[in-house]
Amino acid sequence: DEEFDELCFEFGLELDEITSEKDIISKEKGEEKAKGASDVVLYKIDVPANRYDLLCLEGLVRGLQVFKERINLPRFEKIIPAEGEGQRLIITEQTAQIRPHAVAAVLRNITFTKDRYDSFIDLQEKLHQNICRKRALVAIGTHDLDTVTGPFTFTAKAPSEIKFKPLNQSQEYTASQIMDLYRTDSHLRHYLHLIENKPRYPVIYDSNGVVLSMPPIINGDHTKISLNTRNVFIECTGTDITKAKIVLDVIVTMFSEYCEKPFTVETVEVVYPNGKTHIYPELAYRTEKVKPEYINKKVGISETPSSLAKLLTRMCLKSHVTGNGNHIEVEIPPTRADIIHACDIVEDAAIAYGYNNIQMVIPKTYTIANQLPLNKLAELLRLDLAAAGFTEALTFALCSQEDIADKLGMDISATNAVRIANPKTAEFQVARTTLLPGLLKTIAANRKMPLPLKLFEISDIVLKDPNTDVGARNYRHLCAIYYNKSPGFEIIHGLLDRVMQVLEVPPNEEKGYTIKAAEGTAFFPGRCAEVFAKGQSIGKLGVVHPDVITKFELTMPCSVLEINIEPFV
């Protein structure tokens, strides 16, 4: 396990955890549910989102074998059948409005086993989730070619005209009935919205009118692949032709190794509505030239051109030195759609060299870092508040609407709060506009502690501000709270005086600070004061209203101070 973990790290992957089905289920649902689950050890490997070629066991093992220099990268070949013998996929103009693109390929004389088959299905699922954007951009269909006869037609029809037996169902349904059937399906219901409200649904037929699939929802049961399937017809339909080509290339390069002639793919001719034809899969190899010094400079190493070429070859990018060592010619295989720019090649060279082997150097630019003045002030104030006997709390920046509005006796519209568009829990609906609820909730959670409770927090609050580029602004607030059998207003007032003393703000009107009687919905009438300093109102202090105390499930009186410290930076 340790060796494999090390190997993954060297190859730029992360072995996330070593687990088993049993462990996973018991963690998520408890020991009871996990009974009878498999104990087989599973490796959870984190693959970067751009490496579609590592999303199945075949590609991962192949990549690691090439990396360890045990095998050379296989050469993928497309076999173009003789005139009139190959498969054709005809696209009709009806598809233009809904899913205009389709590509296809055939894997001939393939041998499936249970594991290979599971891996084949699993790869399609993983591709559907990431590059296909939950099937919105591309949907993959794989079929047993021997159960149908070409040429195939990709068209779009009214839902009531499409009728077939969907995968793993026992009877025929029309397209509209299929939609209703899968509305409750935990897996498929997420894809229904892609075509649901369209006047026509995309569908693929063979020459006898057998339905292969209704992308992006479900395949037909007729062409279902089994372990005995020898010839596989793969079609990818979508709204993004580039992504469709990549997806097709990934699937055929991963599984063509199980064909009788390994790493060969039979092409399919796709006929467009305008009569033009194109042969897929493209399986395009291309060459890029990179200067060795460019790689060395970007990574911060000094390798010879030939050793850089060797490093790249280990990363499945076959490379050799050309032009007296001035250039490295890199061949990009069809499996590596993620190589878009020279920097992608540089990254692979760095991974093969080993991030841990790159020497650390001090940057050429010479600067001395400084703490942000606001953070420095906050740190200094924290020390002084702690010295005054208060305990620091750190609470969540998000809270529920009730916390900042209803519970404090205010209306949500008056708080100017920033809302989360799609909150996951009721506790995190809005960004906090005051630090008070967080501290009151902290006290509620610590009611068993001996009194008095003296807490403080210095953190940011967020308010809407149409004048900023993001539409909101942060303010650094200081909030302190005293919770005991008596309100202790004098203790909080004393704390305010101490804070002003350490800030060197004198208690006078001209250049110092003053407090004036005020009203606040969260405060007891006649027990609230506004704090003015530097010619502006910076916050309030006072005794908390009994209603507020009960709403936060507390039973004792408490007094509180909350001020904005930004004017003192």
Please give the chain's pLDDT, 569 residues, in tens: 899 999 999 998 998 888 888 887 777 777 777 777 788 888 999 998 889 999 999 999 999 999 999 999 899 999 999 888 889 999 999 999 899 999 999 999 999 999 999 999 999 999 999 899 999 999 999 999 999 987 999 999 999 999 999 998 999 999 999 999 999 888 888 899 998 889 999 999 999 989 999 988 999 999 999 999 999 999 999 999 999 999 999 999 999 999 999 999 999 999 999 989 999 999 999 999 999 999 999 999 999 999 999 999 999 999 999 988 889 999 999 999 999 999 999 999 999 999 889 998 887 787 888 889 999 999 999 999 999 999 999 999 999 988 888 898 888 888 889 999 888 888 888 999 999 999 999 999 998 898 899 999 999 999 999 999 999 999 999 999 999 999 889 999 999 999 999 999 988 888 889 999 998 888 999 999 999 998 889 999 999 999 999 999 999 999 999 999 999 98
State the pLDDT at residue 454.
94
Instruction: Give CA torsion, residues 27, 32, 36, 38, to 10 deg.
Output: 0
Q: Are residue 270 and residue 340 in the same domain, yes or no?
A: no
Q: Is residue 382 part of a domain?
A: yes
Specify the CATH number for the domain of residue 337.
Answer: 3.30.56.10
- For residues 522 and 409, is the Cβ–Cβ distance under 8 A? yes
Q: Are residue 268 and residue 305 in the same domain, yes or no?
A: no
Rounded Cα distance, 529 and 551, in Å:
22
- Token output for 370: 């400084």
Q: Are residue 200 and residue 239 in the same domain, yes or no?
A: yes
- For residues 100 and 233, is the Cβ–Cβ distance under 8 A? no
State the pLDDT at residue 351.
93
Rounded Cα distance, 474 and 483, in Å:
28
Give the pTM.
0.68
> E-strand spans in 380-447?
391-392, 398-399, 430-431
Count CB neighbours of 289 within 10 A: 13
Q: How many domains does the chain have?
A: 4
Q: Are residue 38 and residue 87 in the same domain, yes or no?
A: no
Q: What is the DSSP letter of 330?
A: E
Q: Is residue 68 part of a domain?
A: no
The SS3 assignment for 415 reads helix
Dihedral (CA of 208, 214, 215, 221) sign: negative
248, 280, 312 - which closes a domain:
280
- For residues 475 and 566, is the Cβ–Cβ distance under 8 A? yes
State the pLDDT at residue 60.
93
State the pLDDT at residue 408.
87
User: Closest Cα partner for 562 from 528, 534, 535?
Assistant: 528
Q: Are residue 292 and residue 273 in the same domain, yes or no?
A: no
Q: Is residue 71 part of a domain?
A: no
The phi and psi torsions of 93 (rounded to 5 degrees) equal -70, -15
Radius of gyration for the alpha carbons in the chain, expressed in angstroms and rounded: 33
State the pLDDT at residue 325.
83
Q: Which domain holds residue 130?
A: 77-280
Rounded Cα distance, 433 and 415, in Å:
7
Dihedral (CA of 251, 252, 253, 257) sign: positive
Rounded Cα distance, 180 and 168, in Å:
16
Specify the CATH number for the domain of residue 457.
Answer: 3.30.930.10
Q: Are residue 227 and residue 88 in the same domain, yes or no?
A: yes
Rounded Cα distance, 118 and 109, in Å:
18
Q: Are residue 91 and residue 215 in the same domain, yes or no?
A: yes
Q: Is residue 274 part of a domain?
A: yes
Q: Are residue 170 and residue 250 in the same domain, yes or no?
A: yes
State the pLDDT at residue 185.
87
Q: Is residue 253 part of a domain?
A: yes
Q: Which residues pair with 14 in a beta bridge?
A: 46
